[in-house]
Amino acid sequence: MKLSDGFDARRLRPRGPGSWRWRFAAALSALFAMLGILLAMAGTATLLGRPPALGGLNDTPASATVILVFGLFLLWLGVVAWRRCRRRLRRPSDLAMAPHLMKKHD
């Protein structure tokens, strides 16, 4: 098969953005998860009868419950975002061709 003069194999590979954006997003989401853990621990400590860790923010059990739920939500959001960023960082840079055009392996 003859290759044309204008063929460039580098055009087949995707030119994605630099990985620093995904690393920054992974670090930010890890900080969100850490903040969620701390808020959940503060809310749980108040509900178990320990002195309030956040001063006047969680004096009552109702506000401690809100802080606990918000902390768990922030933890969940941080873990999901961190996993997506890590998956995106570890994705191999395959050729940008449709899978049905590739050679079939039995």
Number of domains in the chain: 1
Residue 68 buriedness (CB in 10 A; 0-12 / 13-18 / 19+): buried
Most distant pair of Cα atoms in the chain: their distance: 79
Position 93 pLDDT exceeds 80: no
* pLDDT for the residue 49: 82
DSSP annotation string for 1-29 = -PPPTT--GGGGS--PPPTHHHHHHHHHH
Assess if residue 24 is contained within a domain: no
Assess if residue 56 is contained within a domain: yes
Residue 78: count other Cβ atoms within 10 Å of its Cβ: 20
Assess if residue 96 is contained within a domain: no
Domain that holds residue 60: 40-90
Span 46-90, pLDDT tens digits: 888 877 667 777 778 888 899 999 999 999 999 999 999 988 887
Assess if residue 35 is contained within a domain: no
Assess if residue 75 is contained within a domain: yes
